[in-house]
C-alpha cells in the first residue's frame, strides 16, 4: 500500500538503526515514552527494541483509548445498554473491556442488551433513523483523532432533529495526560516523548510546545510505521545529546503546527472541557476530557439518562495502571498470558491490539531477553 510499504523497508530500517548506534553516547540513558498505542503496536510487531542500543529504553505510555477508560465509565455504558428502551452503539474494542461483576458489553449483549458494534458515527446515526421508537446512544471514546467524527454526528443529529439519538461522551485529550505524567515527578523517569501523530494531524504539533518547555522534555511527533519510529528515536537522541527540549515533527507528511482547523472548530462548537476526568492508571486528570457542550445538551446521554459516575477500583491482580503510567511492563504482571490473554482479558491493556499487554502477547513474548 502506498505511503505504508515504503515506510516498512527492512534495508532502510537496518541503516537507520546503525545510524542510531553511532548517535548514542554510551554513558547516557535514553528513556523514551511512546505515548500512543499505535507506536506500542509497531514497536512490538516489528521488533524495533531489538534493533536499538541497550541504553535506549522504550516505555509504554497511556495512549490507548480503550486501555485508559476506567471501569466506572464502562459500567455506565453497560447500565445504559441493559435498559430495554436503549440501543447502545460502540466501536468494537470497547465491547470486550472487563467491567464490574465480570461484565462487559459483550456479556450484556448475551444477557439480551441491544449492543451494536459500529465502524463510524454515521452508522450510529443510521441506527437511530431506522429505530425511531428506541433511544440510540453512541458510546464515544477516543483521543483527538476520534473526536471530530463525534462532533459531526452531533451537528447532523441536530440538523435532522433526531430526537432519539444521544452521545455518551468519553473523549480524552493527550497534552493534559502528558503533563500529568510529567508532573508526577519521580514516579517515572523520562527523557523524551515519541509523540502522537494522528492526534497531531487534528490538533497540530503546537499544543505540545508548552508541555515540552515547562518540563524540559523533547517531543518528536512520530508516524506509526517502523521507519517513522526509528527516525523519531534518532531525532530524540540528537535533541537529548544537544540538551534541546523542543517539539519536532517527524510525521511531516500529515502534521502541521496548527493541525486541521476545520475539525478543531467542529469540536469546539459541540464539546466543552471537563474540569476533571478519571483515567485508568492516572486517576483524576484535570482538564483532560470533553463533555457535550451545553448548546448540544439535548444530545448528551449523561443528562438524558441522569448517569452518575462512580469510581471502581481495578482488579487486584491487574497491573494495567502501573503499565499505563510507564512504571511496569506487561511481563511484570503475574497473570500475564496465564489467566489473562486476548481471548479472556482481565484488564483493558489486553483488549485492543494497541494495548501494551496485547502487543506484547502477540509479538514480544517469544523474543528472548527483549523487553516489551
The footprint of another protein (CB under 8 A) covers 1-4, 6-7, 11-16, 18-19, 22, 36-38, 41, 63-66, 91-94, 119-123, 142-143, 145-146, 148-149, 152, 198, 201-202, 224, 227-228, 230-231, 234, 250, 252-255, 259-263, 266, 352, 354
Residues 290-319 that bind ligand SF4 (CB under 6 A): 317-319
Nine cell digits for residue 99: 467491567
Strands 247-249 and 219-221: parallel
Q: Which residue, 133 or 262, is less far from another protein as judged by CB?
A: 262
Query: 344 has which bridge partners?
Result: 341
Return the closest-CA partner of residue 81 out of 64, 97, 63: 97
With vertex at residue 357, the alpha carbon angle to CA 60 and CA 107, rounded to the nearest 5 degrees, is: 130
Considering CB distances under 5 to 8 angstroms, the limit depending on partner class, which of ligand SF4, another protein, none binds residue 14? another protein
Selected range binding ligand SF4 among 28-36, 100-108, 294-302, 329-337, rule: CB under 6 A: 329-337
- Single residue of 169, 235, 323, 372 touching ligand SF4 by CB under 6 A: 323
Give the contacts of 270 (CB within 8 A, at least 6 positions apart).
150, 151, 154, 155, 292, 293, 295, 296
Angstrom distance (rounded) from CA 308 to CA 284: 16
Considering CB distances under 5 to 8 angstroms, the limit depending on partner class, which of another protein, ligand SF4, none binds residue 93? another protein
Angstrom distance (rounded) from CA 328 to CA 172: 23
Q: In this structure, are residues 59 and 188 in contact, taking their beta carbons and an 8 Å threshold?
A: yes
Query: 56 has which bridge partners?
Result: 30
Q: Which residue, 9 or 304, is less far from another protein as judged by CB?
A: 9
Binding mask 350-369 for ligand SF4 (x = CB under 6 A): x------x------------
- Secondary element (H or E) of residue 35: strand 30-36
CB 259 → another protein: shortest distance, Å?
8
Q: Which residue, 202 or 305, is less far from another protein as judged by CB?
A: 202
Contacting positions for ligand SF4 (CB under 6 A): 317-320, 323, 330, 333, 335-336, 340, 345-347, 349-350, 357
Amino acid at each position: 500500500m502506498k505511503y505504508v510499504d515504503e515506510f516498512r523497508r527492512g534495508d532502510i530500517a537496518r541503516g537507520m538503526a546503525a545510524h542510531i548506534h553511532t548517535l548514542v553516547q554510551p554513558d547516557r540513558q535514553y528513556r523514551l515514552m511512546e505515548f500512543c498505542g499505535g507506536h506500542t503496536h509497531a514497536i512490538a510487531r516489528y521488533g524495533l527494541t531489538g534493533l536499538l542500543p541497550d541504553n535506549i529504553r522504550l516505555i509504554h505510555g497511556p495512549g490507548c483509548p480503550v486501555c485508559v477508560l476506567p471501569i466506572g465509565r464502562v459500567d455506565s455504558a453497560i447500565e445504559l445498554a441493559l435498559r430495554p428502551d436503549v440501543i447502545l452503539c460502540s466501536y468494537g474494542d470497547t465491547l470486550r473491556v472487563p467491567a464490574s461483576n465480570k461484565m462487559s458489553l459483550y456479556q450484556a449483549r448475551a444477557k439480551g442488551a441491544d449492543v451494536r458494534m459500529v465502524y463510524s458515527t454515521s452508522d450510529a446515526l443510521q441506527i437511530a433513523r431506522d429505530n425511531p421508537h428506541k433511544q440510540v446512544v453512541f458510546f464515544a471514546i477516543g483521543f483527538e483523532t476520534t473526536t471530530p467524527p463525534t462532533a459531526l454526528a452531533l451537528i447532523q443529529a441536530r440538523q435532522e432533529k433526531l430526537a432519539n439519538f444521544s452521545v455518551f461522551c468519553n473523549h480524552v485529550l493527550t497534552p493534559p495526560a502528558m503533563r500529568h505524567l510529567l508532573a508526577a515527578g519521580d514516579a517515572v523517569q523520562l527523557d523524551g516523548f515519541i509523540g502522537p501523530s494522528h492526534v497531531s494531524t487534528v490538533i497540530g504539533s503546537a499544543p505540545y510546545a508548552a508541555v515540552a518547555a515547562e518540563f524540559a522534555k523533547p517531543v518528536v511527533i512520530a508516524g506509526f510505521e517502523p521507519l517513522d519510529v526509528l527516525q523519531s528515536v534518532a531525532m530524540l537522541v540528537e535533541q537529548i545529546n544537544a540538551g534541546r527540549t523542543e517539539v519536532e515533527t517527524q510525521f511531516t507528511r500529515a502534521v502541521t503546527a496548527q493541525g486541521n482547523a476545520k475539525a478543531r472548530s467542529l469540536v469546539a462548537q459541540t464539546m466543552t472541557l471537563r474540569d476533571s476526568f478519571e483515567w485508568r492508571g492516572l486517576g483524576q486528570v484535570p482538564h483532560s476530557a470533553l463533555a457535550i457542550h451545553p448548546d448540544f445538551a439535548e444530545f448528551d446521554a449523561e443528562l438524558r439518562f441522569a448517569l452518575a459516575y462512580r469510581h471502581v477500583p481495578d482488579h487486584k491482580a491487574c497491573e494495567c495502571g502501573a503499565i499505563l503510567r510507564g512504571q511496569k511492563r506487561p511481563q511484570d504482571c503475574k497473570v500475564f498470558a496465564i489467566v489473562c490473554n486476548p481471548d479472556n482479558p482481565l484488564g483493558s491493556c489486553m483488549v485492543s491490539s494497541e494495548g501494551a499487554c496485547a502487543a506484547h502477547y502477540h509479538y514480544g513474548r517469544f523474543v528472548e531477553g527483549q523487553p516489551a
